[in-house]
Structure 1
Amino acid sequence: MDIVFVSPTAETNGDGTQNSPFSNISAAMQKAKEIKSINPEANILVNILPGTYYLSESIKIDASLNGLSIKGTDASDVIIKGAIPLNLKWEKFNESIYVTSVEAGLEFDQFVVNNNPQILARYPNYNEGGHYWQGYAEDAISKERLESWKNPEGAFFHALHGGRWGGFHFEITGVNEDGTPKLTGGHQNNRGSRPHKEYRMVENVFKELDAPGEWFLDKTSSKLYYWPTENVSVENATFEVAVLKDLIQVTGTIEEPAKNITISGITLENTARTFMEDFEPLLRSDWTIYRGAVLFFEGTENCKIENSEFANLGGNVIMASKYNKGLQVIGNHIHDCGASAISFVGDVSAVRSPSLNYREFVPLEEMDTIAGPKNELYPRACLVEDNLIYRIGRTEKQTAGVQISMAMDITVSHNSIYDVPRAGINIGDGTWGGHILEYNDVFNTVLETSDHGSFNSWGRDRFWYPNRKIMDSLTTANPEMPKWDAIKTTIIRNNRFRCDHGWDIDLDDGSSNYHIYNNLCLNSGIKLREGFKRVVTNNITVNNSLHPHVWFAKSEDIFKNNIVGDTYQDVGLLGWGKELDYNLFPTEESMMKPQIYGMDKHSAFGDPLFIDPCNLDFGVTKDSPALNIGFKNFPMDQFGVKKAKFKAIAKTPEVPVLKDPTSNNGKASPVVAWLRNNIKNVESEQEQSAYGLNTDQGVIVLRVWKHSPAVKGNGIKKGDVILQSGDVKISTIKDFFKIMSKSESDTMNLVVMRNQTEQEITIHLK
């Protein structure tokens, strides 16, 4: 092996030998090319010795350098930056702010002092605990505020999507006659909406430089203004500004791929933000993305990134774009970055009959009906293992710890992902499946958005249509259509998820062909929206349950041998899947609800007898009733990162407080969801008196959902007490559910107490 040495402390630019190393990486890379030109079969190691390296341009690696390794002595010792150092002479501008001159034409949006990124002048001021945008204000770009600025041009306006499905970013280019800002941008989300009215932030405004740590660059005068924090002395501090948006690009083609490139033992830091670059839609998911990253791979085979650190980067960190085979991302520490951590993004040309927006659809008569990809421009057989990922998406909100779109056979194993604005792991479409997600620890997710999960997927593939009736007819006529794109089963197993702002596992629109088993869901359960062929077995949903939403009549879904902490939270089902049975519920009432619809005939209820839930061990004891319905314990100590130094610093999820399923805020009777209405037993003389009842028996309707079939027409109303069905009196929810389970009709006649008067009503059950 040929070894080329480089050291930033070399007094002169040597010849690349150990005793005379090059003083910069560019020279080392040029030497590697010279060696390869003489001996194309040579394997070369660029050995990067300790120190800090400032790149003037990104490192470019193509197929001519196949077999190259770039290796630092250790990520803690070798730092490569997309910034340049500045030697600045400061003067007082006012009592708090200093000013200095920079080189004319120098532009940057990242200013780093003593290796700590500073805050671009903004409103409202940065507050780590300020939630959205770390501080938000409805009047961020109000007419009154714009009037107070000398010049708003060049300001950046950030706002969440109207439904909080990610975010938008704009540049202010001027002011309209009515005093509102002229905006360009807003292209960073594939589900258009107006900017959220409240969750807004504006930056890069000189007038808003009003707090320690803030800075502003006046590009017209090349003046840099800075309010130093208390611990910074401008006379002695080091100053850097980010000038590059990417640091290493490994690119080849299908015909001549870049092969066997290894990058290890380095830290990459301080690059420019990319939120105003060109973004492209990722099929019909909610995503658009900038096809670029600090470490970028395209047209590669068997490359590897390992044991490196990525920090304070402005945009996407690592991306496998289009054709990539066998890429491995192992043992890396990724944190405090602007967009997504690790992305696998194929090319739309590989998708048959692609649609690129939620409302788009290719008519069946024009559709390519061949299953699978159309060409080879997609990542496949790649591995993401033992990476510690947190505090990503600091600028962009439609981001993920691991993003997969238009790819096949991606394995994501033993990663810890937390403190992120949206999903920890996201699969944007069904093309083409075969992914394995295992032993990951994913929590503190969806912190700055909504309607999402720690794991999220979409499946708006060829079969999916925004009009449900049309989609029903398509899939009824072509039952294998959902597997035209989702050709391989995606496996989600042995993970620990916790999401407090959505679902632990969220299979959204159309997600199909999944096998989900041995997962510990600590808070928000498992959501399966319309889709096909999902098998969900042997999972634990603490304090929550299955959320089956708008299932197809013949979804072929299976839900078996699971421990659930509540009854199913169903919405708008046309059918209950192929099999739901042999599950353990917390109470008889929660079990009886699905039994009304012919499900869970062999299920049981009771305390699962968790071994040590206070220490996140939700295995069950040998006496657990869960073992009798087919549940099997799975390991509780293998979630997340494996590397010792990562385990020492990685967070773990908050321990959930187990709900008592037999109580309701200290009361004896729990609230039970039924057709999305909340009901409970009458249980006291006080309730008997309040509702004008003759006895302390019956079922109180606490809350109704206006779209529930039981509410249609003159159906149930909030405050009703259900007393009787036909000639049978109803004393408790159990009585009510037993009667419904025997009914073969879609309607039921009830006697209710309404406004202290008995009334006969007819309700719909479907």
Structure 2
Amino acid sequence: MTLRLLVLGVILLPTLLFAQKGSTLYVSPFGNDQAKGTLDQPFASVQKALTKVAEIRKDNPLQPISILLRQGTYYLNQSIEITNKEAASKNGTLLISAYKDEKVILSGGQQLKLQWEPYKDGVFKAQMEKKLNFDHFFVDGKPQILARYPDYDASILPWHGYAEDILSAERLKSYKHAQGAYIHRMHSGLWGSYDFIIDSVDQKGKPFLTGGYQANRNNYGYHPKFGFIENVMEELNAPGEWFYDKENGIIYYKPIAGVVLSKAVFEASFLENILTIKGSRKQPVSNVEVKGITFQHTLRTFMKTHEQLLRSDWAIYRQGALLIEGAEYVSVENCNFEYLGGNAVFINNYNRNVIIKGNHIHDAGATAINLVGSPDAVRSPAFEYRLFVPLSEMDTLIGPKTPDYPALCNITENLIHDIGQIEKQSAGVNLSMTSEITVSHNSIYDVPRAGINICDGTWGGHDIAFNDVFNSVLETGDHGSFNSWGRDRYWHPDRKTMDQIVAQHPTLILADAYKPTRLHNNRMRCDRGWDIDLDDGSSNYIIYNNLCLNGGLKFREGFHRIAYNNILVNNSFHPHVWFQNSMDEFRNNIVCTEYKPIWISNWGQTIDQNLFPNKNALLKAKANGTDQHSLAGNPLFENPSKGDFSVRKGSLAFAIGFRNFPMNQFGVTIPRLKVLAKTPVIPDLVTIDEKDNDDQIINWRGAKLKRLKGLSEISATGMTHEAGILIQSIGKNSPLIKIGIQPNDVILKVKKKETNSLSEFLSVYAEDTSSSSLKFTIWRNQQQLEIEVIR
């Protein structure tokens, strides 16, 4: 028996060893799908190689397999998909990689063979097939401009050019075929953007549109000025512009200087997605590696962006040049994502241990990296800002309902810039319905909105560290380089109702954000908002060792936020509309101006042991009952002009518990990306004197009034711009209480007359003393109310 087993083992051993050895398949743009897939006889397509992988897996499911792509551009007729048929089990791997660092491009487009002939006014035309679907056109590898009004100007933001008359009847009637034109407009509060397509225009020049659903705050309307129209033949007048006539199959193009039409390479995008890695929670795709590949040329997808992400300001389309769903232990490394119409990477629903590392992502129409779970995993989900699940119907258990969301994923060492080119509610990295995501050592800049965004508190546990985020919020407003919302189960759009909920059901506060999120060792700069903006409801954050270069740190309504050992250059702490018993802490920080509180009567758990720039700023803080052990004085930064804000020996910062942290570890460190990455402009330190520069505040009928001014007050009141008179506070005996006026209300009009200054307000109020009451237009809870005010 023993001899028989020994002989059997000797026979089987070579077979087992061969099974584990691994296979390598080769692909080349100049190959042949009827070939053997060897180095000398490569396949022509990745899809053929994957078909061969599936055959190998039937007999050898554990075998490591590599698909190596030779240099060149692979124009895809359909998206590549990797499923369980091709992927290995947990004990094997599937590698798809460029061969020996050769330049490999997977293109969602096609190369066009065009015979150009003159049309008129420097425009050329060429015949194509009819009714093709493409909206990106490339010449010698560079994207060209779809014919638009106003003309593209790289120096102008937003939209690189905008105009108020894009939908004027006169303009629309001048177009022979306005049908199919795209309209892009900013949200009225600059909280994102909207996109439309013109279905038709009547004889009076009135357009009939489809779209306008790309944001989750649709009740505010559109910005009157910031918009443009594109895909209109009559607007083709500037070098680099193009237009495709679908009905007749003709493309028109006005070349830029230096383009030789007879020699240039022309390409157009035809696919939304290039590569999908797709399994399920019960049967996940495992152990797939993608390395060294460039992804290019996908369609714009803004007209499909309409799924609301809970009660954040976002809507999304679950698609990207790379889509990963139902995967475990998948890595995407050292790739490039460029010239894309929509999202670059989308990690969708159930995913565990996915790594996105060392990639260069730029020139994308929407978000660089999305990680988004399923709303089916959320207990009692609500969608849109004003909607709320009644307490009587609410699931009050803590945490997620199902595992259908990304968790334990790592987004690290990526260089991200020039994204959100069409969709302005976008980010370098966006998280929604996720848990325990690491976002570290990324360099993110030149973006229209946040660099890093967290849509909701579900379910926390993230580690946001060592990122370099700047040149953010370039085309929008009321936001930060880092932004979060926390409109979770406890949150309600009416503040009084929400106060009652948290008082009666305190366990709901952390029912969704039940794991703390750490935000540390980042360098942030935002010149059009806050460096770090924890907006509506954001809770359970630990924030430390951050260098904030301009916009300061904001905590709006929320609970359990701890901020310590941060440096707020040329700015300060912005506490907005806090709850009673918020348990917030702000300690051991260096601030460079006085605090900027908005509607604060409860100052949290601990606001103390901070360093202020001067005695006046410190005394103002102490008058609020905070900072009894804080100090004031020069922090003695080491070399601020060079970006080193470490404090020198002898600094008072040490006395308040501050500890230096590294100033040279922000952003990407991988050499190929670090040499390409920008770094933020380091601001000159502003000397703060003792002068009180606050706007005038008046006492009126037992209330304190002032002109609404500044981003902090705009954000705290939910306004979209500076307008009206802010009710800063109301005394307990004020007659205004009985008629329904509340602190933080904004008086927009009296008797339908605008009141944008104290003098205007007092003048309108006093001009007609014969009436016993006046109608006030009030802004509250982000909507207008009419209140009758008794004299």
| Interval containing the TM-score (normalised by the shorter chain) | 0.7 to 0.9
What is the DSSP-based 3-state SS (H/G/I as helix, E as strand, rest coil) of the residue aligned with 1:480? helix
2:134 to 96, 101, 108: 108
Q: What is the rounded CA distance, in whole Å, between the counterparts of 2:696 and 2:453 in structure 1? A: 31
Taking structure 1 as the reference length, the TM-score comes to 0.88
What is the DSSP-based 3-state SS (H/G/I as helix, E as strand, rest coil) of the residue aligned with 2:159? helix
Residue 707 (str. 1) matches residue 727 (str. 2): yes
Q: What is the rounded CA distance, in whole Å, between the counterparts of 1:115 and 1:499 in structure 2? A: 32
Q: How far does the alpha carbon of each residue in 1:566-611 deviate from its partner, in whole angstroms, 9 at most, with x for none?
A: 1110001231000000000001111111211211000000010100
Q: Percent identity?
A: 48
What is the DSSP-based 3-state SS (H/G/I as helix, E as strand, rest coil) of the residue aligned with 2:673? helix
Give the equivalent residue in structure 2 for 1:23: 44
Identify if the C-alpha distance between structure 1 residues 487 and 74 changes in structure 2 by more than 3 Å, giving closer, same or farther.
Answer: farther
Identify if the C-alpha distance between structure 1 residues 484 and 74 changes in structure 2 by more than 3 Å, giving closer, same or farther.
Answer: farther
What is the DSSP-based 3-state SS (H/G/I as helix, E as strand, rest coil) of the residue aligned with 2:655? helix
Identify if the C-alpha distance between structure 1 residues 180 and 678 changes in structure 2 by more than 3 Å, giving closer, same or farther.
Answer: closer
Give the equivalent residue in structure 1 for 2:63: 42
Q: What is the rounded CA distance, in whole Å, between the counterparts of 1:645 and 1:210 in structure 2? A: 39
Residue 60 (str. 1) matches residue 87 (str. 2): no
Give the equivalent residue in structure 2 for 1:274: 301
Contact 1:671 1:678 in 2 (8 A): no
Q: What is the rounded CA distance, in whole Å, between the counterparts of 2:100 and 2:212 in structure 1? A: 40
1:393 to 420, 424, 431: 420
Q: Could you tell me which amino acid in structure 1 is paired with residue 76 of structure 2?
A: L
Give the equivalent residue in structure 2 for 1:257: 284
Contact 1:567 1:591 in 2 (8 A): yes
Identify if the C-alpha distance between structure 1 residues 535 and 4 changes in structure 2 by more than 3 Å, giving closer, same or farther.
Answer: same
Shift of 1:104: 2.5
Shift of 1:364: 1.0
What is the DSSP-based 3-state SS (H/G/I as helix, E as strand, rest coil) of the residue aligned with 1:430? coil
Contact 2:70 2:102 in 1 (8 A): no
Q: What is the rounded CA distance, in whole Å, between the counterparts of 2:695 and 2:591 in structure 1? A: 14
Taking structure 2 as the reference length, the TM-score comes to 0.85
Identify if the C-alpha distance between structure 1 residues 583 and 267 changes in structure 2 by more than 3 Å, giving closer, same or farther.
Answer: same
Identify if the C-alpha distance between structure 1 residues 598 and 76 changes in structure 2 by more than 3 Å, giving closer, same or farther.
Answer: farther
2:411 to 374, 384, 393: 384
Residue 412 (str. 1) matches residue 421 (str. 2): no
What is the DSSP-based 3-state SS (H/G/I as helix, E as strand, rest coil) of the residue aligned with 1:145? helix
Q: Could you tell me which amino acid in structure 1 is paired with residue 407 of structure 2?
A: R
Q: What is the rounded CA distance, in whole Å, between the counterparts of 2:204 and 2:257 in structure 1? A: 41
Q: What is the rounded CA distance, in whole Å, between the counterparts of 2:305 and 2:502 in structure 1? A: 36
Bigger shift: 177-186 or 498-507? 177-186
Give the equivalent residue in structure 2 for 1:637: 664
Alignment RMSD? 2.0
1:189 to 215, 221, 224: 215
Q: What is the rounded CA distance, in whole Å, between the counterparts of 1:400 and 1:455 in structure 2? A: 10
Q: What is the rounded CA distance, in whole Å, between the counterparts of 2:308 and 2:202 in structure 1? A: 30
Give the equivalent residue in structure 2 for 1:495: 522
Consecutive unaligned residues of structure 1, counting only runs of 5 or more, are 664-668, 680-702, 716-766
Contact 2:705 2:727 in 1 (8 A): no
Identify if the C-alpha distance between structure 1 residues 71 and 578 changes in structure 2 by more than 3 Å, giving closer, same or farther.
Answer: same
Q: What is the rounded CA distance, in whole Å, between the counterparts of 1:459 and 1:21 in structure 2? A: 52
Give the equivalent residue in structure 1 for 2:612: 585
Give the equivalent residue in structure 1 for 2:684: 657
What is the DSSP-based 3-state SS (H/G/I as helix, E as strand, rest coil) of the residue aligned with 1:589? helix
Shift of 1:561: 0.1
Q: Could you tell me which amino acid in structure 2 is paired with residue 32 of structure 1?
A: V
2:122 to 96, 100, 120: 96
Residue 671 (str. 1) matches residue 693 (str. 2): yes
2:103 to 77, 85, 89: 77
Contact 1:704 1:711 in 2 (8 A): no
Give the equivalent residue in structure 1 for 2:512: 485
Contact 1:417 1:424 in 2 (8 A): yes
1:554-569 alignment, distance < 5 Å: 554-569=581-596
Give the equivalent residue in structure 2 for 1:173: 199
1:505-544 alignment, distance < 5 Å: 505-544=532-571
Residue 148 (str. 1) matches residue 174 (str. 2): yes
Q: What is the rounded CA distance, in whole Å, between the counterparts of 2:395 and 2:59 in structure 1? A: 48
1:606-625 alignment, distance < 5 Å: 606-625=633-652
Q: Could you tell me which amino acid in structure 2 is paired with residue 147 of structure 1?
A: K
What is the DSSP-based 3-state SS (H/G/I as helix, E as strand, rest coil) of the residue aligned with 1:506? strand
Q: What is the rounded CA distance, in whole Å, between the counterparts of 1:591 and 1:178 in structure 2? A: 63
1:352 to 379, 385, 406: 379
1:355-374 alignment, distance < 5 Å: 355-374=382-401
Q: What is the rounded CA distance, in whole Å, between the counterparts of 1:289 and 1:74 in structure 2? A: 37
Q: What is the rounded CA distance, in whole Å, between the counterparts of 1:355 and 1:281 in structure 2? A: 10
Shift of 1:8: 1.3
Residue 340 (str. 1) matches residue 367 (str. 2): yes
Give the equivalent residue in structure 2 for 1:438: 465
Q: Could you tell me which amino acid in structure 1 is paired with residue 295 of structure 2?
A: L
Q: How far does the alpha carbon of each residue in 1:367-409 deviate from its partner, in whole angstroms, 9 at most, with x for none?
A: 1000000001100000001000000001110000000000000
What is the DSSP-based 3-state SS (H/G/I as helix, E as strand, rest coil) of the residue aligned with 1:544? coil
Q: What is the rounded CA distance, in whole Å, between the counterparts of 1:305 and 1:453 in structure 2? A: 28
Q: What is the rounded CA distance, in whole Å, between the counterparts of 2:66 and 2:460 in structure 1? A: 36
1:307-346 alignment, distance < 5 Å: 307-346=334-373
Contact 1:334 1:390 in 2 (8 A): yes
Consecutive unaligned residues of structure 2, counting only runs of 5 or more, are 1-21, 88-92, 698-703, 708-722, 736-791
Shift of 1:651: 0.6
Give the equivalent residue in structure 2 for 1:51: 72
Equivalent residue pairs, number = 688
Give the equivalent residue in structure 1 for 2:486: 459
Q: How far does the alpha carbon of each residue in 1:10-42 deviate from its partner, in whole angstroms, 9 at most, with x for none?
A: 378521011111122222122112211232222
What is the DSSP-based 3-state SS (H/G/I as helix, E as strand, rest coil) of the residue aligned with 2:346? strand
What is the DSSP-based 3-state SS (H/G/I as helix, E as strand, rest coil) of the residue aligned with 2:689? coil
